[in-house]
Amino acid sequence: MLSVLQTVWDTRLSRTKAFIVLMGRLISFSEGVLSQRSPIYGRVTGVLRLKPLSSLEARCFVREWSFENALRLYGFFGGVPGTWQRLTLEDPLGER
C-alpha cells in the first residue's frame, strides 16, 4: 500500500494542495511508516502522537451510562479513543 501511495504522491498529488492523514493504532505500524525503509520516508511533514483518554474524557462518549458501568468499561478497554467511539449508546451492562 505504501509503495502505491508513494507513486500517486510523487506523480500527481505533490503538486497540489492535497494532504494525506495516516492513522494507526499500533505503534509498530506508525514506526514502520516513518522508518528509512518505508517508501514514503522523507515525505512526512508532521507526526502527532495521541495519549490515551483519561477515565473522565472517555466518560464523555457514554454520558447516559451509569458512572460505575463507564468506569468498568474503562478498566476493560482502557483509554483508546477509537474503541470508545465504537461503543454502542446502549449500556451493555444493562443499567442506565
Read off the pLDDT of each residue in 29-38 and give the average, rounded to a whole number.
Answer: 71
Q: Domain-by-domain residue ranges, the chain?
A: 1-49, 55-86
Nearest one of 86, 87, 95 to 68, comparing CA atoms: 95
Segment 45-92, tens digit of pLDDT: 777 777 888 988 888 878 888 888 888 888 888 887 777 766 655 555
Q: pLDDT tens-digit profile of 6-25? A: 888 889 888 898 887 776 66
The answer to whether residues 84 and 58 touch, using CB atoms and an 8 Å cutoff, is: yes
SS3 state of residue 68: helix
Which H helix or E strand runs over 2? helix 2-11
Percent of the chain with pLDDT over 70: 75
> Cα-atom radius of gyration of the chain, to the nearest Å?
19
Split at pLDDT 50, 70, 90, the class of 93 is low
